[in-house]
Structure formats: structure tokens, C-alpha cells
């Protein structure tokens, strides 16, 4: 299981939100590049970057910050947040981003997902952000009637390279991951699954590592608040 540190970008700053609420923001750094280099020095092999401004507005707002991080680090980078057209996908991948994460368009414009998978096989992930098992979109502010498992199976059929599953109610809360829901998604999926939301301790990581076939786990607030030492986690789990 891969340990994946997260950087959430808002107005060029490195921040964290509580349950994805843009008004519940904590700023941790005005220098995302230094944070990325820190996580790389701890042994991270993959960095998870979300453009929060993009997620809420529907268009990329922190492209320059992402580009600066890409130039500074050697590790692989996956990027999501407000990516809702092929041009944005092209720009990110052309800039050296390893994988692009699509979210809202998986519900609103599935044709685009199919085109992206065709153009960039192995490099398109889909984010399934769920609350009470239902998928939320547009920066998590709009609920849908689509079940998380239903979307997972549909995206798998489309040929996406993997899924990022987030339990919105746990995100940023340090209350522990939703093991049962993660296990359910992994069980039905034939493609890699990355878990996100609620990880608060090394013990949480140990529990997640017991889920057979879980490909990776994203850690955010627990790193920034000092609940988890990334080097310790990487050395222990991977």
C-alpha cells in the first residue's frame, strides 16, 4: 500500500478544509513547493495535489503552483480539482503531471472521461467523493442520487486507471477512515483503489494496510497537524 501525501491549493497557498467546506479553511504554508520537497525528503513516491479553487469554480486556478511543484520534485504527481475539459487534461499531462483525477465530469460529462481514457491510457483516475454512500460533485457542494459503488463500476468499464475514494464526512476530521466503505469499493473493483478521508494515526494506516488489494492511501491533515510522521509511515507501511 502506497502512502500518498496531499497538498490542497487555494489561492496559491497550501491549506486543508474540514469536510470539504471552503469556509472551514486552515492555511499551513504560503510555499507549496517547500511542502512538496519536505514530503519527498520523507520518502514519498507519489504526491496528490488538489486545486480547491478549481474544484469550486470549475476551471483550474492554481496551474502555476502545480507547475512550480512539478519542476521542483522528482516524485510522481497526480492532480485533480476543476478539471472538466480535454484542454486542461492536455495541459497538465504535457507539463509532466503523471495522472489526472476527474470528478464532477464523471457524472455530468461521462463522454469526456471516455475520450480522456482513450487519449491517455493509464493516466486517468476518477475521484468518487461520497457522503452516506451517495456521490457529491462540484467541490462536494452538490449531492447526487448516484451510489458510489454504481459509479465505481461504471468508471471501471470505461477503462480508467484507478479510483480515488473519499468519505466526505471523514475528510479533515481526524476521526479515522471508513474501513467498511473502503473495503466495499475494493471488493467490487478490478482496478486500483486509493482511499482518502479521516486518516489520523499510524494505527489507521495499519488497519488500511490489512485491506487486501488497497493500492494506496492519501494523508492530509494528519501530516500537517503532526498526528502522523510521514517518514515513519512510509518506512512502516511500504
Question: Which are the catalytic amino acids?
Answer: 8, 129
Cell numbers 489561492: residue: 11
Strand 162-167 to 193-196 pairing: parallel
- Nearest-CA neighbor of 218 among 6, 73, 16, 43? 6
In the 8-state DSSP scheme, what is residue 8? E
In the 8-state DSSP scheme, what is residue 185? H
Distance of alpha carbon 157 from alpha carbon 108, whole angstroms? 17
C-alpha triplet 214, 217, 220: angle, nearest 5°: 165
Helix (H) or strand (E) holding 107, with range, is: helix 104-108
Q: Distance of alpha carbon 46 from its chain centroid, rounded? A: 11
Distance of alpha carbon 74 from alpha carbon 45, whole angstroms? 9
Distance of alpha carbon 178 from alpha carbon 175, whole angstroms? 9
Sign of CA dihedral 64, 218, 55, 59: positive
Distance of alpha carbon 150 from alpha carbon 138, whole angstroms? 19
Amino acid at each position: 500500500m502506497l502512502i500518498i501525501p496531499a497538498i490542497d491549493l487555494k489561492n496559491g497557498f497550501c491549506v486543508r478544509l474540514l469536510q470539504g467546506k471552503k469556509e472551514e479553511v486552515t492555511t499551513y504554508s504560503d510555499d507549496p513547493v517547500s511542502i512538496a520537497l519536505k514530503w519527498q525528503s520523507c520518502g514519498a513516491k507519489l504526491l496528490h495535489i488538489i486545486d480547491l479553487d478549481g474544484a469550486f469554480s470549475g476551471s483550474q486556478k492554481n496551474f502555476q503552483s502545480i507547475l512550480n511543484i512539478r519542476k521542483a520534485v522528482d516524485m510522481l504527481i497526480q492532480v485533480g480539482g476543476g478539471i472538466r475539459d480535454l484542454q486542461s487534461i492536455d495541459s497538465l499531462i504535457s507539463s509532466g503531471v503523471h495522472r489526472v483525477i476527474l470528478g464532477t465530469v464523471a457524472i455530468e460529462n461521462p463522454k469526456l472521461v471516455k475520450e480522456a481514457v482513450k487519449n491517455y491510457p493509464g493516466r486517468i483516475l476518477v475521484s468518487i467523493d461520497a457522503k452516506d454512500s451517495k456521490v457529491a460533485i462540484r467541490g462536494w457542494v452538490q449531492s447526487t442520487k448516484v451510489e458510489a459503488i454504481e459509479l465505481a463500476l461504471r468508471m471501471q468499464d470505461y477503462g480508467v486507471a484507478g479510483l480515488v475514494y473519499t468519505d466526505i464526512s471523514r475528510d479533515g476530521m481526524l476521526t479515522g477512515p471508513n474501513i467498511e466503505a473502503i473495503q466495499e469499493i475494493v471488493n467490487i473493483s478490478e482496478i486500483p483503489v486509493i482511499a482518502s478521508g479521516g486518516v489520523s494515526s499510524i494505527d489507521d494506516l495499519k488497519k488500511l494496510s490489512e485491506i487486501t488489494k488497497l493500492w494506496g492511501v492519501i494523508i492530509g491533515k494528519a501530516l500537517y497537524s503532526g498526528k502522523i510522521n510521514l517518514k515513519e509511515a512510509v518506512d512502516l507501511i511500504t
